[in-house]
Chain A
Amino acid sequence: MSVYLDNAATSFPKPKAVIEAARRVLEEVGASPGRGAHRHAREATAIVSDCRQKTAAILGVKDPDRVVFTKNATESINLVLKGWLRPGDRVLYSAMEHNSVARPLKKLASQGVNIEMIPCSPAGAPDLGVLTQMLRSEARLVVMVHVSNINGALMPVAEASEVCARAGVPLFLDAAQSAGVQPIEAEELGIGMLACSGHKALLGPAGVGILYVRPGLDVLPLMEGGTGSRSEELEQPEFCPDRYESGTPNLPGLAGLCAGIGYILETGMNRIRNHEIGMAHYLENELWQIPGVRMLEPERRGSGAVSFVVEGMNPADTGSILDQAFDIAVRTGLHCAPLAHQTLGTFPEGTVRVSPGFLTTIENVEYLLNGLRWIVTRRG
C-alpha cells in the first residue's frame, strides 16, 4: 500500500476534473488570456474569468476583480508586505508564522521596518489581549496565519479582525492552509488583505497563488509589465487585478484551480472539512494510546494537520522509516516555520506532520498507525 499524508504541503491526488481541465488547456485551448481577440484567446480569457469568479465566491469577495492571481502564496505575501510597508512602519505578526511571512519581514526589518511578534500560547493560539495592547501604539499592519501548517491550529480571526478594526489597522490573513476547508468571508470579516495558494485545499495544480486586497488599500505592485489592457500607456494600470498581474498567467494552473474549486463547491466544503478534521481526531485518539508518542494538539482545530514526535527519535528518522519501510509520505522537520516550532517547543528538530486530505481513507490512517506502532515496538 502507498499512502500519501502530506496534503498540507500540496493536495494529492487531485480530482480527475482538475487533471482534465489542465489537460484540455494544454491540448485544446492554448493561447494567452487577455491577449488577442481570436477564439482561442477568448476561451482562455473566459477560463481565467470563471476561475476568478469561483475564487471570489469561495473567499467571500463580491467583486471578482479584487482577486489577484500570482504564482504562489509566497509571492502574494511578498507583494503585500513589500508593497504596503515602508521604512519606519510598524508591523505586528504572530509567533506562528511561516517563513513566507518571517523571511520577507526579516528583510524589511533590515530596511527600517519595525517588526514585532505577537506572542502565542504553547498550543499556538495568539494572545489577543497582548495584541490589543500592542495596537495602542501606531501600526501599519497585523499579519496572522489562519490555520497553522504544523498542527492545524485555528486562529481566532474574527476576534483578531475586530481588534484590528478598532485600531484602524488592516489585518493581513495568510490563508494558505485554510482556503478550501474553512469558510472565509473576507469582506464580512473586514480582512484587509488575504493570501493563499491554489494547490493545497483548493485542489488546483501548483503554480497559482491568490491575493485579495480590500478596496482603498494602496498596495504597490511587485512588478510592472504587459497586462493586455491599456497597452498604449507606459504606466502600469491602477485598477485591479491588472495592477498586480503582469505577464502571461498560468492558464493550465488556473483552469485546474477553477475545476478544484468547482469540486469543492459541488462536494460541499463542510463535508470536506468534516472528513479531514474527523481523520485528524481519529488519528489523535489513536496516537494517544501509543507509548512514547507526544502530540502537539491545538486548542481549536482548523485543518487535518496533526503533528507529533516519537520521544528520543529525530522526526526525520521517523519519517524516513515510514517512507522506506511502509511507503507512507509524511512531512518532517520544521515545515518552513521555525518561529512556530519555537512557539510549540519543537525547535530545532521539528515534528512529524501527518496531513490527511479529502481522499484519505480510514484504512490509510490505520496503515500509518500500524507503521508507527511497529516503530515504537521495535525501538523497545
Chain B
Amino acid sequence: MPLEQVVSAMVGIYDRSGKGLDQHQWVIRERPVTLYLNGREMVTLLCAGHHLDELAAGFFYAEGFLRSPEDILGIDIDDGAGAVNLSARGDASITEGLWQKRTITSGCAKGSLFYFSLDALLSKPVKSDIRIAPGRILDRVEDLNRLSETYRRTHGVHNTALADPDRVVLFRDDIGRHNAVDMIVGHVFLHGIPLRDKMLITTGRLTSEMLIKAAKVGIPVLVSRNTATSLAVELAVSLGVTLIGHVRAGKFTVYNGQERIDVGLSG
C-alpha cells in the first residue's frame, strides 16, 4: 500500500490513572469512491482508495456485469473526485434488473440458500483437485500476516491474499474485507490467473458473502484466522468450497471440504 494511504493523527493515550499522553499515530485513510458502469452511477464504496482499477473490475465481475476481460473497453479513474468509470461492451440491462434483488421463493420446496438472485445465477459448484498439506496452510497464513506493513502501522485494514500451496501470489489490503477481495478478483480477472489451484486467505469473518464471492470466481479453498457463519458453511457444502477458519496457534478448523486437506503430504 502506498504510504499516502496512511496518515498521521495526533492522539491522546489514557490509562486508568487518567494520565494522558499526546502522540502521533498512523491511521488508515478512508475515502468514498463511486463506481460507474458506462457512465451510470452504481455504488459508492468506502475504501482506502488504492488499486481502483482492480477494485472496479473485481466488483463488476463478481456482481455479474462482466463475463470476460474483453468486455472491458476502458477504466477511467478520477482520483481527485473519487470516481471510477468502467466502460463495458454489451447490454447489461437484464443483469442490472436483477442486481441486488432478493430471491423470492414460495415455501413449496427445499428453498434456495441464496438471498440475491444474481448470486444464485452466478454461483456454481467449484471443481478442483487441489490438495494442501496442513503445514502449507499455516505457512501461507503467516505470510499474510507478515506482508501487511499497513496493518502493523495502523491495525486498521483487512488483509487478503491469493496463494498456492507454496507461496502468496497476490496480496491486497483495505479497510473493507470485501474491497480487498474485490481487488484480488479484479487482478486475476484482468490478468487471467487460473484459480483452481489457489486458496483465498482473508483476515475477515467467513460469511456467506465472502463464500459466494469465492465460488463465483472459482476459488476452491477459503481460509481465515477468523470464524465462519452458519450460512457460509451451508453454502460451502452446496458449492464444494473448502472452508477453513480459526487459523491460530498452529491449528485450524475445517468446516467443509476436508478431502482437500492432505495429511500425507509433507509441509
Contact = CB atoms under 8 A, between A and B. Distances in A.
Q: Size range of the interface on B?
A: 20 to 34
B108 A335 contact: yes
B105 interface: yes
Contacts of A314: 110-114, 120
A263 B98 CA distance: 39
A335 B109 CA distance: 8
Contacts of A375: 121
B110 A348 contact: yes
Interface in B114-129: 114, 117, 120-122, 124-125
Contacts of A313: 120-121
B153 interface: no
B117 A332 contact: no
Nearest to A315: B109
Interface in A307-340: 312-317, 320-321, 323-326, 331-336
B98 A325 contact: yes
Contacts of B110: 314, 348-350
A284 B240 CA distance: 31
A166 interface: no
Contact of A317 (B106, B108, B117, B125): B117
Contact of B67 (A332, A350, A380): A380
B120 A321 contact: yes
Contacts of B42: none
Which one of B103, B109, B120, B122 has the greatest number of beta carbons of chain A within 10 Å? B109
B106 to A, nearest CB: 6
Contacts of B125: 312
A332 B106 CA distance: 8
A38 interface: no
A324 B121 contact: no
A39 interface: no
Contacts of B121: 313, 317, 321, 375, 378-379
A316 B111 CA distance: 7
A282 interface: no
Which one of B64, B104, B107, B122 has the greatest number of beta carbons of chain A within 10 Å? B104
A288 interface: no
Nearest to A346: B109
Contacts of B248: none
Contacts of B106: 316, 331-333
Contact of B108 (A312, A323, A326, A334): A334
A324 B108 contact: no
Given A316-B103, A320-B117, A350 B108 contact: yes
Nearest to B111: A316
Contacts of B95: 378
Summarize B's interface: helix, strand, loop or mixed: loop
Contact of B109 (A324, A348, A374, A380): A348
Nearest to B94: A325
Contacts of A348: 109-110
B97 interface: yes
A334 B64 contact: no
A312 B126 CA distance: 11
A321 B67 CA distance: 18
B101 interface: yes
A315 B111 CA distance: 9
Contacts of A380: 67, 124
Interface string B108-152: 111111100100111011000000000000000000000000000
Interface residues of A, number: 26
Interface string B211-237: 000000000000000000000000000
A316 B98 contact: no
A317 B109 contact: no
A317 B120 CA distance: 6
B98 A334 contact: no
Given A320-B103, A324-B97, A350 B109 contact: yes
Contacts of A333: 105-109
A314 B112 CA distance: 6
B94 A379 contact: no
Which one of A316, A331, A332, A335 has the greatest number of beta carbons of chain B within 10 Å? A316
A324 B122 contact: no
Given A317-B114, A333-B109, A324 B120 contact: no
Nearest to A323: B104
Contacts of A323: 104
B92 to A, nearest CB: 11
B109 A321 contact: no
A236 to B, nearest CB: 36
A348 to B, nearest CB: 4
A312 B101 CA distance: 20
B111 to A, nearest CB: 6
Which one of A315, A349, A378 has the greatest number of beta carbons of chain B within 10 Å? A378
Given A375-B121, A380-B124, A317 B94 contact: no
A379 B122 contact: yes
Given A312-B124, A314-B114, A324-B104, 11 more contacts: A320-B103, A320-B120, A321-B120, A326-B94, A331-B106, A332-B105, A332-B106, A349-B109, A378-B64, A378-B67, A380-B124
Instruction: Kindly list the 4 A-B residue pairs having the minimum CB-CB distance in the complex, ordered from nearest.
Output: A333-B109, A333-B108, A317-B120, A348-B110
22 contacts: A312-B124, A312-B125, A313-B121, A314-B110, A314-B114, A315-B109, A317-B114, A317-B117, A320-B120, A321-B121, A324-B117, A325-B98, A333-B108, A333-B109, A334-B109, A335-B108, A336-B108, A349-B109, A350-B108, A375-B121, A378-B95, A380-B124
